[in-house]
Structures are given as C-alpha cells and as structure tokens.
Amino acid sequence: MSITRLWPILLVLLLAACIKPPVITPESQAEADKAIDHEQARKLSDSIADNLQKDNRPMLRNAMEKTFRDYVDDAGFASMIDRMFAAYGKPLDVEYKMDELGRKTGTGGYDKPLRKFWYAMRTTKYEKGTVFLIVEIVPDEGHLAGSGVSMVTFSVDVPPALK
C-alpha cells in the first residue's frame, strides 16, 4: 500500500493522538442538544455535503469554524480535499443517514458540544454504502460552523444505522 493511500489513516492517528477522549454523559448530550439546534445544524451539514459534492471549496471552507480557517489557508485546504478525493473518489450522490450528539475536545482546552451527521455516498470510485461522509457541527462565536469533514469506509461491516 502506497503512502498516498495511507495518508487518511495517518491523519486520523495524528489527530487522535492530539485529542483527549470525550466523556459522554446524559448531561453532555443534553447540553449539546440545547446548544446545537437540530434543524439549523442539519441545514448547515447538508450545505457542507452539497458544497463538497459540487467541489465548491470556497463555500466549504467558509462554513468551517474560525479556528480551522485561521489555521489552514486556501492552499492547505485544497490539498486536503484533493487527497480525500484521490483516496475515495469525488462525491456523486450523498444521502443523509443519521446524526449523533456528543462533545469534541482537544488540546489547549478545546471543548465544544458536537452534532455529527452521517451520509452514505456514491463516489467516482465506490458504490453507495461503501464510503460515508461525516460532517461535524459545533457552536462557534455565536453561530454554528463545521468542525470536521471526512470520508470514511469500514473495514469489517457497515453499522446497521448506516445501511
């Protein structure tokens, strides 16, 4: 397996090493539900999925939280999208499957309520149901913003909620 096919795994491992595991409790889920309006978050998540499918990178980047936009410039963002498309193919069809509540934590005290949306995708490389899109939505400076966008596959079996 070449390094270009391993980059998503390496990126996830690097990010996982930097993020402390969240402690999910009924209270934190209730806080996330109150802090992140489901309807508004779903509209934002759907627009992020749509912009990814249309390869509208400026709109996609603008939907991300401020700390992300400050840290990753246009060229770096384009490179991330290019590598994701190279690994999984360009999105052709996106279908909402489910959402989850939780927390996103990280270094420097980063700790926010999170609503994670899952979509089944058909891409230029894979049939629908093989690749899934994850869009993470968090509160950011008085509004909602994307905190993460990733395309993933499952090595063993697709969870029943995503079928």
Strand order in the sheet with 131-140: 91-105, 111-123, 131-140, 143-152
pLDDT tens across the length of the chain (163 residues): 555 555 555 555 444 444 444 444 556 566 666 779 999 999 999 999 999 999 999 999 999 999 999 999 999 999 999 999 999 999 999 999 999 998 898 888 888 999 999 999 999 999 999 999 999 999 999 999 999 999 999 988 999 999 8
Per DSSP, what are the bridge partners of residue 133?
119, 151
H helix or E strand, kind and range, residue 119: strand 111-123
Dist CA 39 CA 87 (whole Å): 31
- Whether the full predicted model's pTM is greater than 0.75, yes or no, is yes
- The full set of domain ranges for the chain reads 3-9+20-162
Among residues 96, 138, 135, the alpha carbon closest in space to that of 114 is found at 138
Q: Which residue pairs, CB below 8 angstroms and at least 24 apart, start in 108-112?
A: 110/67, 112/138, 112/139, 112/140, 112/147
Q: Tokens 């390496």: give the residue.
A: 10
In Å, how far are 28, 101, 113, 135 from 32, measured between CA atoms? 6, 6, 5, 15
| Domain topology for 3-9+20-162 | Nuclear Transport Factor 2; Chain: A, (3.10.450)
